[in-house]
Amino acid sequence: MEKALKKWFPVFVLPTLAAFCVGFIWPFIQGIYLSFCQFITVDNAKWAGISNYVKALSDETFGDSFIFTVVFAFVSTILINGIAFAIALALTKEMKGTNIFRTVFFMPNLIGGIVLGYIWQILLNCILSNLAQPLLALNSTAGFWGIIILMCWQQIGYMMIIYVAGLQNVPPDLLEAAAIDGANAIQTLVKVKLPMLMSSFTICLFLTITNSFKLFDQNLALTAGEPAHATEMLALNIYNTFYARSGPQWKGIGQAKAVIFFILVVVISLSQLYATRSKEVQQ
Amino acid sequence: MNTKQKNMWSNIGTVFFTVLAALWMYPIIMVVMNSLKVERAITTDAAFALPTAETFAGLTNYISALGAQGFLKSFGYSLFITVSSVFLILLCCSMCAWYINRVNNLISKLMYLLCAFSMVVPFQMVMFTLSQTADRLDIFGLKFNTPWTICFIYLGFGAGLAVFMFSGFVKSIPLEIEEASMIDGCSPIQTYFKVVLPILKPTMISVGVLETMWVWNDYLLPTLVLDIKKYRTIPMLIQYFRGSYGRVEMGPMMACIVMTVLPVVVIYLLGQKHIIKGVLAGAVKG
């Protein structure tokens, strides 16, 4: 069969491969090359060595947005997973209306980041103005917590669904055995359920951390980095370097930042996957 | 714990979660509420207030949004781009995934690895070069920076996840079924459409859900590829009106948001089972 199929390469693979080259492989390679150049469009690139990287790393806004992103990723990952897991535990108990609650909690996940950001901007500004606090555009603390609340609202439902699926997959005979051995609810949770759920934790932690690092739409729509770049995350910082600054040097620096960002995301994802995978138990 | 206590706790739980669920829905309810108010009543201070007899605007905001604000056009663009992209991704990527799993050569292996790799790469990495490529690419006069052809770009950037997910499923299909159809005289194309495609249906739905959610809500890629003066998808429209265009008419904006969110919610309620399954499958594979 392999032989018969082989000559059908142009029909089966070529469309995807061509699009993949145009949409990913070529831009990726060109992106790495351009990060070593000074350019405004791709035609007038001049080799500039590593100077873009030096300038990118010495750009203060980049460092600030890096710290902001790391703190944000840390706080949001803990909050989202903690709350999502607690809700998942409660909703797998016998209770009226669990299905409706799951439906409701999951819903925000389907709404796009730009719309979400706009909705929450109106809501948070209303709360802030009623509390006589400065509005989001002038209030970086509120901006930070605003994005956190927004991301919690969007992602808790999603993570909850993954945890619920994990909890439902815990074999009932294990729970029975634990009950016969006299384990109480907390012991069952810590000694039986948690180890069985390690793969769910891997997935959820992976998703929340990478989502936090790659966050763009919500950041743009809710605060747009205001006030004065104080709530600007890495992805938005790169975007602004490309499109909001004038001067021939900035595109090259932006591309260098993008490469650094890419390496950062890969390293974080891989190390995180490795760390939690090693703790998983074999079922 | 006796049954009575258990019942009590379960009731407390239900009450607690009902309140929480109501809070959860509040942001959406707030937008619906405001979309029914007259312009001057939508202020920063009073966003929480219910519309009263004086401030109730009926459907005027919706009518204005549909007409003057170009919502209908944007909705059309978004719908077309989403449907064409998702269709193209489902068809091409499932064919590709089948091929690279059945034909064991270097290109197949390379393709699989590159697809897996592309899922980790953040969009900002290729953002500038991709938009430039899309602007310049010209194959016999066919440009890729229009809503009619942007699906090709989406196929390229969305291929990673789709090929990866389809591959995972194709591996579990027993080879014998396909071999039988080949022996019965089917060409690979016939085998694919008559045998493999029906088996792939559940994965099709999962991938379709994920890609639809992505393309429908995507803001950055269409912004960079399309000419914002001519074509605006819904996320672009919303961001465009808030951008540098002075005072935004809040009422029609709210109506726009409601009309953006509503179809998503309705589709979600109708196809909840499939959507949650799709999202779960994507999460597990990713």
Q: How far is Cα of residue A195 from the mean position of the Cα atoms in its chain?
A: 25
Report in angstroms the alpha-carbon separations of B99 from A18, A120, B22, B185: 15, 45, 48, 18
According to DSSP H, which parts of B36-70 are helical?
60-67
Report in angstroms the alpha-carbon separations of B236 from A24, A242, B71, B215, B218: 23, 19, 11, 12, 9
Residues B231-254, mean pLDDT to the nearest whole number: 75
Which residues are paired to B138 by β-bridges? B143
Q: Which residue has the higher pLDDT, B276 or A163?
A: A163
pLDDT grade for B268, boundaries at 50, 70 and 90: confident
Q: How far apart are CA B208 and CA B161, in angstroms?
A: 11
Give the domain ranges of chain A: 69-232
Tokens of B43: 């202020």
3-state secondary structure of A67: helix
CATH of A69-232, one of 1.20.58.100, 1.10.3720.10, 3.40.605.10, 1.25.40.10: 1.10.3720.10
Interface of A with B in 173-232 (CB under 8 A): 203, 206-207, 210, 213-214, 216-217, 220-221
Contact A252, A38 (CB under 8 A): yes
Count Cα atoms within 13 angstroms, Cβ side, for A149. Answer: 17
Residue B156 carries which side chain, given as an amino acid letter?
A: G
Q: How far apart are CA B227 and CA A240, in angstroms?
A: 19
Listed residue (A137, A114, A116, A110) closest to A217, CA to CA: A114
pLDDT grade for A109, boundaries at 50, 70 and 90: confident
Asked if A115 and B238 come within 8 Å (Cβ–Cβ), the reply is yes
- DSSP sequence for A187-243: HIIIIIIHHHTHHHHHHHHHHHHHHHHH--HHHHHHTTT-STTTT--HHHHHHHHHH
Residue B145 is classified by DSSP as S
Q: Which among A107, A122, A262 is the nearest to B268, CB-wise? A: A107
- The 10s digit of each residue's pLDDT in B156-206 is 888 888 898 888 888 888 888 888 888 888 888 888 888 888 888 888 888
For an interface test with B, the pick among A14, A22, A91, A226 (most B C-beta atoms closer than 10 Å) comes out as A22
pLDDT value of position B69: 64
Q: How far apart are CA B116 and CA A277, in angstroms?
A: 18
> A258 CB near a chain B CB, below 8 Å?
yes
Task: Pick from A39-53, A91-105, B72-86 the range whose average pLDDT is largest.
Answer: B72-86
Q: How far apart are CA B74 and CA B80, in angstroms?
A: 10
- The 10s digit of each residue's pLDDT in B38-90 is 776 666 666 666 676 666 767 777 877 777 667 888 888 899 999 999 999 99
Count Cα atoms within 13 angstroms, Cβ side, for B180. Answer: 7
Check pLDDT > 70 for residue A102.
yes
Phi, psi (5° rounding) for residue A47? -60, 135
Q: Which among A91, A114, A265 is the nearest to B238, CB-wise? A: A114
Check pLDDT > 70 for residue A23.
yes
Q: Which among A115, A220, A239 is the nearest to B260, CB-wise? A: A115
Phi, psi (5° rounding) for residue A256? -65, -45
> A5 CB near a chain B CB, below 8 Å?
yes
Q: How many CB atoms lie within 10 A of CB B253?
A: 24
Chain A partners within 8 Å of B122 (Cβ): 213-214, 235, 258, 261-262, 265
Chain B partners within 8 Å of A21 (Cβ): 156
pLDDT grade for B243, boundaries at 50, 70 and 90: low
Q: How many CB atoms lie within 10 A of CB B57?
A: 19
Chain B partners within 8 Å of A152 (Cβ): none
Instruction: Tell me the angle at which helices B71-102 and B234-242 cross, rounded to the nearest 10 degrees.
Output: 130
Check pLDDT > 60 for residue B286.
no
Cα of B199 to nearest chain A Cα, Å = 17
Contacts of residue A241, Cβ cutoff 8 Å, sequence gap at least 6: A59, A62, A250, A251, A253, A254, A257
Listed residue (A144, A14, A281) closest to B155, CA to CA: A14
Tokens of B136: 């310049």
Q: How far is Cα of residue A145 from the mean position of the Cα atoms in its chain?
A: 16
pLDDT value of position A283: 45
Listed residue (B204, B172, B175) closest to B191, CA to CA: B175
Check pLDDT > 50 for residue A182.
yes
Check pLDDT > 80 for residue B22.
yes
Asked if B160 and A266 come within 8 Å (Cβ–Cβ), the reply is no
Q: Which among B14, B121, B187 is the nearest to A95, CB-wise? A: B14
Asked if B152 and A235 come within 8 Å (Cβ–Cβ), the reply is no
Q: Diameter of chain A by CA atoms?
A: 74
- The 10s digit of each residue's pLDDT in A235-265 is 888 888 888 877 777 888 888 888 999 999 8
φ/ψ region of A224 (left if φ > 0, alpha if ψ in -120 to 50, else beta) reads left
Listed residue (A83, A111, A142, A123) closest to B20, CA to CA: A83
pLDDT value of position B85: 92
Cα of A70 to nearest chain B Cα, Å = 16
Residues B225-233, mean pLDDT to the nearest whole number: 82
Give the E-state strand segments of chain A in sequence order. Answer: 37-38, 46-47
Report in angstroms the alpha-carbon separations of B175 from A2, B96, B98, B178, B204: 11, 17, 11, 6, 19
> A131 CB near a chain B CB, below 8 Å?
no
For an interface test with A, the pick among B110, B128, B157, B166 (most A C-beta atoms closer than 10 Å) comes out as B128
- The 10s digit of each residue's pLDDT in A139-152 is 788 888 989 999 99
Phi, psi (5° rounding) for residue B37? -95, 160
> A40 CB near a chain B CB, below 8 Å?
no
Asked if B120 and A254 come within 8 Å (Cβ–Cβ), the reply is no
Phi, psi (5° rounding) for residue A222? -80, -50
Computed over every residue of chain B, the mean pLDDT equals 82
Count Cα atoms within 13 angstroms, Cβ side, for B51. Answer: 20
Asked if B30 and A119 come within 8 Å (Cβ–Cβ), the reply is yes
Q: How far apart are CA B234 and CA B215, in angstroms?
A: 11
Give the E-state strand segments of A67-207 in sequence order. Answer: none
Q: How far apart are CA A275 and CA B46, in angstroms?
A: 48
Tokens of A140: 């970086």
Cα of B17 to nearest chain A Cα, Å = 7
Asked if B102 and A1 come within 8 Å (Cβ–Cβ), the reply is yes
Asked if B163 and A242 come within 8 Å (Cβ–Cβ), the reply is no
Asked if A207 and B238 come within 8 Å (Cβ–Cβ), the reply is no
Residue B134 carries which side chain, given as an amino acid letter?
A: A
What is the enclosing helix (H) or strand (E) of B175? helix B175-183
Q: How far apart are CA B283 and CA B209, in angstroms?
A: 12
Asked if A259 and B242 come within 8 Å (Cβ–Cβ), the reply is no
Q: Name the residue of chain B whose CA is nearest to A121's CA.
A: B44
Chain A partners within 8 Å of B5 (Cβ): none
3-state secondary structure of B142: strand
Q: How far apart are CA B51 and CA B46, in angstroms?
A: 10
pLDDT value of position A279: 65
Q: How far apart are CA A107 and CA B266, in angstroms?
A: 10
Pairing label, strands A37-38, A46-47: antiparallel
Handedness of CA B275, B278, B283, B286 (dihedral sign): negative
